Structure 1
């Protein structure tokens, strides 16, 4: 297992997560709007759980999949993750 990725900015985290979502929904990252509901992009519960696992692996934090569904958008998901990411550095 690789060491957790260093985190410097919300925009870097957003860019990486956008890429992951794009792969799950077979879309290009530029088509994933940060302010649109994740379900509008086609993210479902299975891919949502997998996305949370990928975030955990990359950044070395625990992400409850409920968090993903308690915030409506990608931008809000990233903002919810940032305190936890900051605490681990």
Structure 2
């Protein structure tokens, strides 16, 4: 699924999240709506922590456990992860590091 108005990095995160959630939830990627909250799919806190561990391992991004509640959908989390990557490269004021 390609969502217009998104960056390539956000689309990459969305695709990765869909694939990983499909594994955790034992569903096909096509069954997961990127705008539906994780909790509605039955993703519990243990699975969310595992997901964030995978994000840290695969992308080097450490996330606080509360991120799952602050960004409760694939779309919102993908957007946050892409923004976090940009922030880490450019710094908090948008200046190139």
The normalised TM-score by structure 2 is 0.76
Aligned residues: 82
1:78 maps to what in 2?
78
Q: What does 1:31-70 align with in structure 2 at a 5 Å threshold?
A: 31-70=31-70
Cα deviation, 1:4-60, whole Å, max 9, x if unaligned, reads: xxxx52111100111111111111111111101111112110000000010111111
Larger Rg over CA atoms: 2
Distance 1:16 1:36 in 2: 16
TM-score by length of 1: 0.83
CA distance in 2, matches of 1:41, 1:30: 13
The answer for the alignment partner of 1:20 in structure 2 is 20
Give structure 1 stretches of 5+ with no counterpart: 1-7
Structure 2 segments unaligned to the other structure (5+ residues): 1-7, 90-97
